[in-house]
Amino acid sequence: MGQFREPSQEEVEKRRIVGVHAEHVSNITSTDFPGHYPGEDHKWDLQRFRNSFKVEFHKHEQYDTQFSLVGIDTAVANAFRRIMIAEIPTISIEDVYIVKNTSIIQDEVLAHRLGLIPLKGNPEAIKQMKWYKKKAPGSEEEEDQRTDYNTVVLDLNVACEWHPDGKNLARKGETDPKKIFVNSSVYAHQIKFLPHGNQEQLFAGENAIRPAYPDILIAKMRPGQSIQLSMHCIKGIGADHTKFSPVATATYRLLPHIEITKPIIGADAHKFARCFPPGVIEEVPITREEARREKSGYEGHEGEIKAVVKNPFKDTVTRECLRHDEFKDKVKLGRVRDHFIFSVESTGQFDSDDIFIQSVKALKTKCQIMKKNLENVAR
């Protein structure tokens, strides 16, 4: 077998760009696999991957993280996204046992609203919780499988009454229900955690199970109305129901690529900058060196304004500049095919960066299982 040639760095960078044109996109198919380019070796290599792969953080808050994965395949990036949405286990309200509900909200609607309230607590204890297996419909099993290892119990007991001075305020024309009634609005912070067994140690103090956002409105009531119910929370995944998904959003986008191929000067530079979101294109003066350099395109324009790419990260690839004839053949738009900008917003049960780490572990486990099954088939 002959020697493989190495493509130039310029050629490699050109292959990384997905072209964005006025009415279509180009170069969208992945080409870094053996046999596509004659004379080049594109077999996967661990050391090459280690050298090219990078993780860059852009925003790192507890429940909102933005970072880039550079140097991976689209299938792997999308696997992380799908796992974060659908396969990271969390706990959520599954069964609601209503003792009394005299509010105007129907029982099934109330139960649905409660189920969608995101919960938080000791994250490590939540991860170690066991799975609760529901009895099959029509099953003759009588023994309840619920234990303090697989079920968390919450309670909500609220009654609306007149405020001690409420009737006097009402006679004076007061109409704010929060001033003339007590518990006119039922909020998530009124849900109480009822620990059982070792839950008193695992979910003690600040680690207690509670709504992640205490100001979520559950219902509105008036004097004489009340809600009394018990809730059972179990472990589940987003593939079963979206209430178990640990993320509000988990998305990625490719890094925009903007290349100015010919000088854009003066009023055109200002118009060109307005075609993009603020901060993407910068208007800077043409220097004396640029104006004197032959074939630079800036000859005789010293001190005038030119357009330069400042921060393509902020671009949304709107293609607005491609609509104007004065920019024809002066700019190329694209996206970097192996630079994925992830945005992960947690619902509050786990930190956003921890959710991504869990997705990596989950994908690793899947690969190990597949590898083991392939070895068994080979035998």
User: SS3 of 265, please?
Assistant: strand
Same domain, 212 and 72: no
In this structure, the answer to whether residues 270 and 335 fall within a common structural domain is no
DSSP characters for 122-184?
-HHHHHHPPPPPPPPTT----S----TTT-EEEEEEEE-EE-TTHHHHHHTT---HHHHEESS
**What local confidence, expressed as pLDDT, does residue 10 receive?**
85
The answer to whether residue 44 is domain-embedded is no
Residues 96 and 183 in one domain: yes
222 in the same domain as 207:
yes
- Taking 70 as the pLDDT cut, the residues of the chain under it are 1-2, 138-144
Q: What is the pLDDT of residue 324?
A: 92
Whether residues 281 and 335 fall in one domain: no
Reduce the DSSP state of residue 368 to 3 states and report it: helix
Look up the pTM and report it: 0.87
104 shares a domain with 205: yes
pLDDT reported for residue 299? 85
> For residue 232, what is the domain's CATH number?
2.170.120.12
- 35 occurs within a structural domain: no
Considering the domain architecture, whether residues 111 and 231 belong to the same structural domain is answered as yes
Tens-digit pLDDT profile for residues 260-319: 999 999 999 999 999 999 999 999 998 888 888 888 788 888 889 999 999 999 998 889
Whether residues 21 and 54 share a domain: the answer is: yes
* End-of-domain residue from the set 185, 216, 244: 244
CATH number of the domain at 334, please.
3.30.1360.10
Distances in whole angstroms, Cα of residue 71 to Cα of each of 17, 201, 205, 334, 339: 13, 44, 43, 17, 6
Q: Is residue 354 part of a domain?
A: yes
- What confidence score (pLDDT) does residue 48 get? 86
**Closest residue by Cα to residue 312 from 255, 367, 260, 361:** 255
**Domain match, 123 and 195 both:** yes
**81 and 99 share one domain:** no
What local confidence, expressed as pLDDT, does residue 297 receive?
A: 84
pLDDT value at residue 139: 67
Is 347 a member of any domain?
yes
Q: What's the total number of domains in the chain?
A: 3
Is residue 228 situated within a structural domain? yes
User: Which SS3 state, helix, strand or coil, does residue 220 take?
Assistant: strand
Same domain, 225 and 285: no
Q: pLDDT value at position 212?
A: 95
pLDDT of residue 138: 66
Residue 199, token pair as written in the block: 């839950």
pLDDT of residue 18: 93
What pLDDT is recorded for position 85? 96
pLDDT for the residue 125? 94
Q: Which domain holds residue 233?
A: 90-133+146-244
**Judgement on whether residues 223 and 256 belong to the same structural domain of the protein:** no
pLDDT at 344 (0 to 100)? 96
